[in-house]
Amino acid sequence: MVADAIIKATEHASDPVRSAVGIGGPHYCPNFMKILKRDDICVGHVCPKHMLHCLDEGMLFQALERSVPKAETVILDWKGLGPYKDSIKKCLTERSIHLMKTSDF
């Protein structure tokens, strides 16, 4: 059963995939999980709300660069950004990083 699951999962590995980084929301990231289930975008790295005080530009750019394929979009769980909304949005827009909100899906 495990081998069958692996084979089925890799059969479509050549299909084009979009990847993104998620920021905000609670620990288990329910809004990002909903996106994964109903859209063709993969959310690789996620920084939940309770860790936003540790997130800096360097970490954000590493998450974008190290996603496979390279992420060009950041998805924001807007309600789950707390007091960091403005600073995160400013950082992304100043660097022309495409951003979306979980409510866009």
Structural domain containing residue 48: 17-104
CB atoms within 10 A of CB 83: 8
Which residues touch 43 (CB under 8 Å, ≥6 apart)?
19, 20, 21, 22, 29, 32, 35, 36, 75
In a domain, 86, yes or no: yes
Averaged pLDDT for residues 50-66: 93
The pLDDT tens digits of the residues spanning 11-40 come to: 665 566 789 999 999 988 899 999 888 878
* Domains identified in the chain, total number: 1
Residue 70 has pLDDT above 80, yes or no: yes
In a domain, 77, yes or no: yes
Q: Please name the amino acid found at residue 81.
A: L
In a domain, 2, yes or no: no
CATH at residue 65 = 3.40.50.10700
The alpha carbon of residue 105 and the mean position of all alpha carbons in its chain are separated, in whole angstroms, by 13
In a domain, 12, yes or no: no
Residue 96 has pLDDT above 70, yes or no: yes
Who wins on pLDDT, 40 or 57?
Answer: 57
**Which pTM does this prediction carry?**
0.82
In a domain, 78, yes or no: yes
